Amino acid sequence: MSDLPVGTQAAADAVRAAERIVVLTGAGISTDSGIPDFRGPNGVWTRNPAAEKASNIRYYLSDPEVRKAAWLNRLDTPVWTAEPNLGHQLVYELERRGQLRAVVTQNIDGLHQAAGHDPENVIEVHGTVRSTRCWECGDVRPMREALDRVRGGEADPPCLVCGGIIKSDTISFGQSLVPEVIDRAFQVSSECDLMLAIGSTLSVYPAANCVPTAKRAGASVVILNGQHTEMDRHADHLLIGQISEVLPVLVGR
Residues 163-182 binding Zn ion (CB under 5 A) are: 164
Residue 162 touching Zn ion (CB under 5 A): yes
User: What is the rounded CA–CA span in Å between residue 87 and residue 66?
Assistant: 34
Which region among 27-35, 136-144, 225-233, 234-242 touches Zn ion (by CB under 5 A)? Answer: 136-144
- Of 44 and 162, which CB lies nearer to Zn ion in the complex structure? 162
Strand 237-240 vs strand 220-225: parallel, antiparallel, or unpaired? parallel
- Do 152 and 143 meet the contact criterion of CB atoms below 8 Å apart? no
In the list 139, 156, 230, 232, the residue contacting Zn ion (rule: CB under 5 A) is: 139
Query: Considering only 31-39, 121-129, 130-138, 235-243, which stretch makes contact with Zn ion by CB under 5 A?
Result: 130-138
Which residues, in sequence order, are CB contacts of 49 under 8 Å at separation 6+? none
CA distance 81 to 70: 18
Determine the Cα angle at 8 with ends 185 and 20, to 5°: 30
- Could you say which DSSP state residue 207 is in? G
The distance of closest approach from Cβ of residue 140 to Zn ion in the complex, given in angstroms and rounded to an integer, is 10
Task: From the candidates 112, 117, 126, 234, give the one annotated as an active-site residue.
Answer: 126
Which one among 11, 15, 86, 159 touches Zn ion, defined by CB under 5 A? 159
Tell me the window of 48-56, 132-140, 220-228, 236-244 that interacts with Zn ion (CB under 5 A).
132-140
**Residue 228 annotated to the active site:** no
Cβ atoms of 29 and 198 closer than 8 Å: yes
Q: Which residues have a catalytic role annotated?
A: 126
